Amino acid sequence: MKKPIEKPELLCPAGSVSALDAAIEGGADAVYLGGVAMNARIHAGNFSPEALREAVRKAHAYGVKVYLTLNTLVTDRELPQFLDAAWDAAEAGVDALIVADVGGAMAIRRAIPSLELHASTQMSGHNSAMAEQLRAFGFYRMVAAREISKENLVRLLQESPIETELFVHGALCVSHSGQCLFSSVVGGRSGNRGDCAQPCRLPYNGSYPLSLKDLSLAEHIPELISLGVASLKIEGRMKAPEYVRDVTRVFRRLLDENRPADAEEMRVLSDAFSRGGFTDGYYTGRLDRSMLGVRSEADKRNTREVFSFAGLAKKVDVSLFVSFRSDEPVKLSLTTKDRSVTVAGDVPQIARTAPLSREDLIRSLSRMGGTPYRVAEAQTDAEEGLMLPVSKLNDLRRRAIDALDAAAAPKGRERLPIEWRRPDGAREAVRSARFDSREQITPAALAYFERVYLPLFAFEAPANGVVMPPVIFDGDMDAVRAQLSETKQKGARWALVGNLGHLGLVLEAGLEPVGDYRLNVTNRESAALCRDLGMKETILSPELTLPQLRDVGGNTSAIVYGRLPLMTLERCISQGLVGCDACREGRAVLKDRRGVSFPVLREWEHRNVVYNSLPTCMSDRLDDLLRNGIAARHFIFSVETPKEVDRVIDAFRKGLPLGEQVRRIPNRL
């Protein structure tokens, strides 16, 4: 499945028809674009089914591949629509789908097995074990986490059995992709559903500690070529055509000339769009304040002064050959660097008055008009004294052009009937809780919860389960493997798994896996897959409403109490806010413009997790939980004191309100 890479593909954004033209003009090898629904940029121009077919036809004429983004989470009731969108894309001739919902992807694989699948960065693919898992699912390519360092990228490329796509330019999310609930939980606009309100770009604590500069690896191109990255991806489906044109042009030159960007090219990139410059901090491992940036008035002015995109002027060179003889039908052949077609017409007639000269014949057949083609070379095998009506030659030329377009289209797409899967088993009334520290595990908690989890690197008795770190790069594997072995010896039985690339570590250690909310399970297909992989239970996405939780069914559970983790940050922000000591003690907070505080806790390896300001709590809504079949319930304790832990448990035992402002699980579809 994985092929040797001589030169990476240049993959560019096409958020509109004009941006598509700009990407082609700039020299893209492939473009990615969205349909009118189920993509992570629902506010981009996007493409209706009719516009998508035309976009694919145009791109393929220029030898440019088209990948459609179906990269949002999908609820149960949306699964049929999701599959229909995939089939519309297949019929339009797209070359691959970029998918974020693993259950939805498995449905596509069963229904349209010939359609190539790429795993979106929203799947949080950050190690080779995830790539191996995706290969088993039938994926052809994984989009690597943007936070990956050079060292971990080298390991991934060496060990991955499938292609690796890497973001090399454009906006950075401060949270690990697929691990951000900030916009969804706080603002009601889900980033995992394509509607992010970008709370990371707002001020906190009087500055902008979450706003990152745009990524650019333009100065690392020779190294990326030598490493064997399959595809270099430019971010920007919300960006203007001018941005797409200029950024694509720069990276096209760098790839073709195998060199890093010079100062002038970096200026061109900055003028196209910048937030006070660029960062390569994740790639180089320099995770400091130099990564931060906001878009200044000077940045905006520079972008406004970029000259406008005038439209697609690029043409594809075609070689033309015509056979024009008295005893056989006229034949016209058109050949590009990757396609060749031949069409036949009528038998030429003996001319009575005005025979067609070779020059006239070539001139008539070379009129490509508004098509993507231009005749660069023409040859004939023509007898003198013959003629054909101009209308016949025009028809011959049109059919040859249509055949040349059709030659670029994928073949053999078929849609098979499928049955929707459901996770086996009924919901069991298991109560589980994740604690941040041993001190929070009170006697009341031990009596109330069957499964008691602590973070892997903080595990100790009397907990009986571990929470796997949200991010485990290839370079972290040995340390995690050793710690799992140690916790197993200390009495751990369960492991909360939040990434499919971590599952093998848990099984290898002899622990029983439970799917964590970080898996973003929002439908029965994903839940069934988790069950197939050996997970005893799966905690569903906290973005689901009560009826949506009910729809999934099976042996799944829901978070009924706790401050939801909103972001997983690779770069430690606590040190800049309050210092390392306060971070360890849990005293770091982000305070927004309204004075609302969001706790920040340390994760393993100096990562941070930002928690919601309010806990979700359903202690006085137990009837609502029962009516929606939610018997298995999960609790998250983050900054609570032991006394507050006991108060929460008491409220749930008695079905009483907590007595403070809380967030509810919505009771709507």
Rounded average pLDDT per 10-residue block, the chain, 669 residues: 83 96 98 82 78 95 95 94 95 96 97 97 96 97 97 97 98 93 91 89 94 97 97 95 97 98 97 96 95 95 93 96 95 95 95 90 94 95 93 96 89 89 81 97 98 96 97 96 96 97 97 97 96 94 96 94 97 78 74 95 91 97 95 96 98 96 93
- CA 88-89-93 angle, to 5 degrees, is 115
| pLDDT at residue 194, as a whole number | 84
Domain's final residue, options 256, 276, 304:
304
Q: Residue 190 domain-assigned?
A: no
How many Å apart are CA 576 and CA 209, to the nearest integer? 8
Residue 18 to residues 45, 242, 274, 478, 662, Cα–Cα distance (Å)? 10, 9, 21, 48, 46
The C-alpha atoms of residue 102 and residue 106 are separated, in whole angstroms, by 6
Q: Residue 459: inside a domain, yes or no?
A: yes
The verdict on 443 and 540 lying in the same domain is: yes
Rounded Cα gap, residues 257 and 279, in angstroms: 23
For CA atoms 284, 290, 295, 296, the dihedral sign is negative
The CATH number linked to 167 is 3.20.20.70
Residue 645 resides in a domain: yes
* pLDDT for position 1: 56
Handedness of CA 607, 613, 619, 623 (dihedral sign): negative
How far apart CA 499 and CA 519 sit, in angstroms, is: 6
* 192 in any annotated domain: no
Q: How far is CA 487 from the centre of its chain?
A: 34
CA distance 636 to 599: 14
**Structural domain includes residue 97:** yes
Rounded distance between C-alpha atoms, residue 236 and residue 398, angstroms: 36
My answer on whether 272 and 358 are in the same domain is: no
Q: What are phi and psi of 556, to 5 degrees?
A: -125, 165
Tell me what pLDDT residue 6 has. Answer: 86
Q: Would you give the end-to-end CA distance of the chain in angstroms?
A: 40
**DSSP 3-state assignment of 335?**
strand
Distance between CA atoms of residues 444 and 448, nearest Å: 6
Burial 318-329 (b: 16+ CB within 10 A, else e): bebbbbbeeeee
| Interior angle at CA 337, CA 332 and CA 341, nearest 5 | 25
Domain count, the chain: 3
Of 368, 389, 406, which marks where a domain is finished? Answer: 406
CATH number of the domain that 572 lies in? Answer: 3.20.20
| Residue 542 sits in the same domain as residue 501 | yes
pLDDT of residue 353: 85
Residue 40 to residue 282: CA distance in whole angstroms:
23
Asked if the peptide bond before residue 13 counts as cis, ω within 30 degrees of 0, the response is no
The rounded distance, in Å, linking the Cα atoms of 2 and 230 is: 9
Among 337, 371, 406, residue at a domain's last position: 406
User: Is-contact 382 363, C-beta < 8 A?
Assistant: no
3-state DSSP helix/strand/coil % of the chain, to nearest 5? 35, 20, 40
524 and 650 in a single domain? The answer is yes
Considering only CA atoms, which of 153, 189, 196 is closest in space to residue 175?
196
Same structural domain for residues 246 and 323? no
Residue 11 and residue 31 in contact, taking contact as beta carbons nearer than 8 Å: yes
